[in-house]
Chain A
Amino acid sequence: MSEQNTNLSEYIPDVPEHAGFKKVVLELGVANHPGVMSHICGLFARRAFNVEGILCMPVGSGETSRIWLLIFEDERLEKMIRQVEKLEDVLYVKQHDGEHPVFGRLDEFFK
């Protein structure tokens, strides 16, 4: 058989550049137990989707927690959100723009 098909390089997609460095804030309601954080962070890490900031605290009686994620918008964001929504421990995902105040006053702790 021929060797003409030397174009073997399987298609390797580029990791998208941070499109315009626009930031997005995601708000996640999650079940509060050890392990939830690994489930969520694993999804982002596997797809080389950098999480710039992360905040997590229990809400109310402590049955659930809220996680805030600061990320750069890229074209995969919507697909990413759908993967996150699929996690059993994720109750809801809301998308806010990057100006959301939740990360606002944290700067002083990162000086």
Chain B
Amino acid sequence: MQMTGADLIVKLLERQGISTIAGVPGGAALPMYDALSKSEQIHHVLCRHEQGAGFIAQGMARVSGRPEVCLASSGPGATNLITAIADAKLDSIPIIALTGQVPLSMIGTDAFQEVDTYGLTIPITKHNFLVRSAKELLTAIPAAFRIAMSDRPGPVLVDVPKDVQNQMVSFEEYPDVVVPDAAPSFDIGAIEEIAKMIEAAERPVLYLGGGVIHSGASQLAVTLAEQASLPTTMTLMALGAMPMDHPLSIGMLGMHGARYTNYVLEEADLLICVGARFDDRAIGKTAEFCPNAKIIHIDIDRSELHKVKTAHVAIAGDVGQVLSELLPRVKPQLRKRWLSHVESLKGRFPLAMPGVDNPRSPYGLIHAVANCLDDSAIITSDVGQHQMWVAQAYPFRRARQWLNSGGLGTMGFGFPAAIGAALAEPERTVVCFSGDGSLKMNIQEMATAAQENANVKIVLFNNQSLGLVHQQQNLFYGKRIMASRYERPTDFLKIAEGFGMRAVDLDPAPNPRAVLAEALNTPGPCLIHATIDPNEFVYPMVPPGAANSEMIG
């Protein structure tokens, strides 16, 4: 066979099952775009900003669990992708970023739209390639997929100079379609030891992280919890792994976790950490987190073990495989005393949700949205107060229901990620909870949502401020409000309409629940606007740097 590098790229993507690519064209990527024009399998989604393309790819990958692709040109196209790539790295999301580059002979000459994309993306990718011949594509593209989805998933960037895209390459056969590498094998002895520790523990807690979602191990984790009667907490990334209303769920831990959740952890004598990484927002001051507990740590990434907290037993393995081995070895227990103690802590220090019956207040609006939807809906959020309220209060009940920028905390994530989710699973309703600050960071993608007629609903918490910053300045900086209030209001309804997206306003509606229900249940993109009091704060809150037991509010 003989074809250009660009045609080969498209063929290899097709063979990996790619059917949607999000991108923005530009000079150095034009041969790839020309090749795409001939593809019958791949639908290209023209984004309005490359960061939008990166997050759309992420949205697709987060719901499907498989690598998805975004595409940009050299220079500013590539630099615009960077935030979305870094975000994927911190949350272990498999995306492939394809970038055009200036021709090989011009690399290093400060050519027009040349940046060192390879150098820039070393620390924010799982791996990256600068492809120096069309023949190399035969190995680099499959390798990119294999690396992105094997072990701990992550983003891979492939930078392809324009002349490499145009170069002819001949080969006998296409490389094989790649599948994930086998997960590392682990020691059954350690599993037996864990089973014994769980049996011997009096106050064990199960601590689930995003790795449980990536591994597809939620059901196994719930079964483990039920079999050994383990109160179970989830990180921001793991919400949905165990249904929020499960009797063993103690909700999300950390900076904005409920008081009882952090108190239960404080009393634990055994912490079983599965696919989580002891992030500082989750554990607060390291030395004071679970001060009385032995620690079991299960993670596919060996470098996470003993990184923050030294574990008594650590296993590097796929959490699903490890849990499958563990389950038959764990003795069923009732643990009446511990569970009733947890129940009493929950009764005394529950998550307070003031205003939950009022759809014009944060918790009330979240519950009103949830009441219009079933578990098939996908929920994304941006970053800020609205995000934490949703994480605390939305009744997540399944894995991959909740898409969130956890590690990087990127404002602007929620909306394009929601578009990606809607493109990947068009039969679902996708709701993006956003803030007025965050939405503005990728608001241009309203045009993309309208063009694709994506079934995405933005529920906008408009407090005319960078609420979470405003809250911190109020609480920790002597109420000196600096650069966190927007002085001029923005007419989001007009903006949405200007982009061709329907918009409804809950503020003037006599019956906001009815307006909400109608908007959420009408297919197609829609902005749902709600004014939120800027003096609503998210509580409880662990001050940055403090121990989880020192939460305020």
Q: Which residues of A contact B (CB under 8 A)?
A: 1-3, 5-11, 34-35, 38-39, 42, 46, 78-79, 82-83, 85-89
Q: Judging by beta carbons under 8 Å apart, are B122 and A39 in contact? A: yes
Contacts of A38 in B (CB 8 A): 119, 122
List residues of chain B with CB within 8 A of the CB of A5.
475-476, 543, 546, 550, 552
How many residues from B make CB contacts under 8 Å with A? Answer: 27
**B488 within 8 Å of A by Cβ?**
no
Give the contact stretch, choosing among B73-81, B299-307, B444-452: B299-307
Interface stretch of the complex, out of B123-131, B339-347, B462-470, B504-512: B123-131
What separation, in Å, do the CA atoms of A42 and B545 have in the docked complex?
27
10 examples of A-B residue contacts, CB within 8 angstroms? A1-B474, A1-B553, A3-B475, A10-B545, A34-B130, A35-B122, A35-B130, A83-B303, A86-B302, A88-B147
Residue of B nearest to A38 (CB): B122
CA distance A44 to B474 in the complex (A): 39
In the complex the two chains form, is A7's CB within 8 Å of B545's CB? yes
A8 x B303 contact (CB < 8 A): no
Is B126 within 8 A of A8, CB to CB? no
User: Are B302 and A35 in touch, CB under 8 angstroms?
Assistant: no
The chain A residue sitting closest to B305, CB to CB, is A82
Asked if B502 lies at the interface with its beta carbon under 8 angstroms from chain A, I say no
Asked whether A82 lies within 8 Å of B303 as measured between CB atoms, the reply is yes
Residues in B whose Cβ lies below 8 Å from that of A8: 476, 543-545
Q: Please, how many angstroms separate the alpha-carbon atoms of A1 and B475 in the complex? A: 6
- Taking a contact as CB atoms under 8 Å apart, the answer to whether B552 and A85 are in contact is no
Distance A7 CA – B476 CA, assembled complex (angstroms):
9
- Asked whether any CB of chain A lies closer than 8 Å to the CB of B537, the reply is yes
- Using Cβ atoms and an 8 Å threshold, which residues of chain B touch A35? 118, 122, 130
Question: Are B545 and A85 closer than 8 Å at their CB atoms?
Answer: no
A74 shortest CB reach to chain B, Å: 15
Cα A46 to Cα B124 with chains together (Å): 12
Q: Which A residues touch B147, using CB under 8 A?
A: 88
Contacts of B397 in A (CB 8 A): none
Q: Across chains A and B, which 3 residue pairs bring their CB atoms closest together, nearest first?
A: A82-B303, A10-B545, A88-B127
Residue from A6, A34, A42, A87 in contact with B476 in the complex, judged by beta carbons closer than 8 Å: A6
Residues of A within 8 A of B543 (CB): 5, 7-8
The CA of A42 and the CA of B119, in the complex, are separated in Å by 10
Interface flag for B478 (CB, 8 Å): yes
Q: Which residue of B lies closest to A45 (CB)?
A: B123
Which residue of the partner chain, among B122, B302, B474, B550, contacts A42 with CB atoms under 8 Å? B122
Q: How far is the CA of A40 from the CA of B126 in the complex (A)?
A: 13
Q: What's the least CB distance linking B37 to chain A, in Å? A: 32
Task: Select the residue from B130, B285, B301, B545 with max chain A CB neighbours within 10 A.
Answer: B545
A2 touches B126 (CB 8 A): no
